[in-house]
Amino acid sequence: MSNNSSENSEWSSDIEGVLDNIRFNCAILNEQHKKQYFYYKSFSKYFRLPLLLLSGINSVVSIGLNNYILQKNVSLICCLLSLITGIITSIELYLGIESSMANELEASREFYLLSIDIYKTLKLNRANRSVDGGAYLESCLAKYSKLFESSNVLTKNIKDKLINIDIESNKSSLDELDQQRTGNILVELI
């Protein structure tokens, strides 16, 4: 036997099954993070458009109204417009919309890339895979765990293929866990 076939003998159906479950989760998480990205992107327009409008008005008022209104009133109007602009910007920063958008986009891309890498490897015949199955599984699981830890928390429950839970027998404990999570999230928001 060649050295290549002895390396590939480490592949088994259970390794492939776990890898396929990771791939499935990555595909689902890719979609969820993509939806979250577009949500934050559409939500940001409620901050960006007023900022653009108020900044434009402020620049016109500061120069254009000097001939029609006393300078102290022009200064007061500009001060109020700047205050409103600052408050809107502060709220946007407090909510972390821009950073959440960037995190969601990055998480979506990384989950997608891991998913297609696993898909590519699993579609090859075992003899054509150039990597050891156990090592590849550990590598993919480490990447998946790192991505999962660094990504934003999703509001939607997903069916996780890596955790096989009997939903009917554990429904009450899952409901209690959801209530605890909701309570913790509300406490964090307050």
* pLDDT single digits (tens) 33-85: 999 999 999 999 999 999 999 999 999 998 888 888 898 999 999 999 999 99
Q: What is the DSSP letter of 126?
A: G
Q: Which amino acid is at 142?
A: A
Q: Are 19 and 122 in contact (CB under 8 A)?
A: yes
Q: Are 37 and 101 in contact (CB under 8 A)?
A: yes
pLDDT the model gives residue 137: 94
Q: Are 28 and 158 in contact (CB under 8 A)?
A: yes
Helices and strands: H and E segment counts in the chain? 6, 0
pLDDT the model gives residue 172: 52
Q: Which residue has the higher pLDDT, 19 or 166?
A: 19
Q: Which residue has the higher pLDDT, 10 or 86?
A: 86
Give the tens place of pLDDT for each residue, 75-130: 999 999 999 999 999 999 999 999 999 999 999 999 999 999 999 999 999 889 98
pLDDT the model gives residue 152: 78
Q: Which residue has the higher pLDDT, 32 or 5?
A: 32
pTM of the model: 0.70
Give the span between the Cα atoms of 133 and 129, in whole angstroms. Answer: 9
Tokens of 109: 């891309």
Confidence of residue 155 (pLDDT cuts 50, 70, 90): low
Residue 182 has pLDDT above 50, yes or no: no
pLDDT the model gives residue 153: 77
Q: Which residues contact 158 (CB under 8 A, 6 or more apart)?
A: 25, 28, 29, 32
Nearest to 87 by CA among 54, 42, 43: 54
Residue 54: CB atoms within 10 Å:
18
pLDDT the model gives residue 164: 60
Tokens of 20: 């396929």
Residue 187 has pLDDT above 60, yes or no: no
Nearest to 104 by CA among 55, 57, 156, 39: 39
